[in-house]
Amino acid sequence: MIEWGRDMVTFAVGSLSIKRIWEMNDHTFNLRSFFPLSTDEAVLKHLDWMVPTHFNPHNGNIALSMHSWLIDTGSEKILVDTCVGNDKVRPGRDQWTGLRTQFLERLTQTGVHPADIDYVLCTHLHADHVGWNTKLVDGSWIPTFPNAKYVFSQREYEFWTEQTSKGEGGPHLTAYQDSVLPVIAAGQGLIIDDGYQIGNCITLRSAPGHTPGHVAVWIDTPAGRAVLTGDIVHHPIQIYYPTWSCIGCLSPDLASATRFRVLEECAESGAVLVPAHFMAPHVGTVLHSGEAFAFRFRCENAG
């Protein structure tokens, strides 16, 4: 069952509670530019469900939600991906620069405070997935979640360390400097290999392509499965066209192969797909449809 409240969605996977913590919506990316392999013909086939929530036919832009997922296992509180963050400067991304959102207030409205978070899991280290790792205090970036271990993939961490050493700019390298390195300096970083587990039901599995060290967060319980996908899938139209990697994917073919593999596993096992950027109803189930897939938003019993 999914419960609806202002800016938040709550559902269960077995005994685990999962809550969406919303930051902002981004309407600035043009579908045809964002997905270079897309076609007008393919887009027209899906207008019936995309408009108006997921696609604006007047300007051709998609809608993306920026949100985190809060997992409560009963013994650990885990925040997956931390959006854009306040007070950040993101070169080339004006819509992500200088934000003043109520993200932390929305978190505390769930009854969970920043000091309660045990783990912060970053599926990858792009600017819109690490921003709330840190907050600005007296001119310095400090960890937002003072008691948490921040979990980064070894391959992802090494990749962005190498990119930073080249002296290049851009929003993601800036984010690495103000939202990752301060966490490492504070001794709260936990660099992990593929297959790292938290408790007996959460596993971080390699899902490369969008970035080299991207991971998926799999939840396996006797009563059900789910996968928090980060940027394996940005928009629901990619479920119908898994070859459509976004312009930000560093290895588009590998990203497509990873996406197909994850969608296939969801379709076979019934795992709930829990993406980082889908608009409402935000989560759903994947179905086989010919040589690709279809998607059914999980909105039954919504209150």
Q: What is the pLDDT of residues 36-92, one digit of tens each?
A: 999 999 999 999 999 999 999 999 999 999 999 999 999 999 999 999 999 999 999
Domain CATH for 227: 3.60.15.10
Find the helix or strand (DSSP H, E) in which 163 lies. Answer: helix 154-165
Is 156 within the bounds of a domain? yes
Is 207 within the bounds of a domain? yes
Is 303 within the bounds of a domain? no
Virtual torsion, Cα 32, 37, 40, 46, nearest 10 deg: -90
pTM over 0.75: yes
Is 302 within the bounds of a domain? no
The three-class DSSP label of residue 259 is helix
Is 22 within the bounds of a domain? yes
What are the residue ranges of helices labelled H in 26-78? 31-34, 40-44, 47-50
Is 233 within the bounds of a domain? yes
Is 111 within the bounds of a domain? yes
Residues 6+ apart with CB under 8 A from 261: none
Return d(Cα 264, Cα 93) in angstroms, integer. Answer: 33
The per-residue pLDDT for 165 is 87
The per-residue pLDDT for 42 is 97
> What total of structural domains would you count in the chain?
1
Report, as ranges of residue numbers, the positions in the chain whose pLDDT lies below 50.
1-6, 300-303
Task: Supply 126's token pair.
Answer: 């792009």
Is 85 within the bounds of a domain? yes
- Domain assignment of residue 209, given as a range: 3-297
Task: Supply 179's token pair.
Answer: 């939202």
Cα Rg for the chain, rounded, in angstroms?
18
Residues 6+ apart with CB under 8 A from 291: none
The per-residue pLDDT for 138 is 97
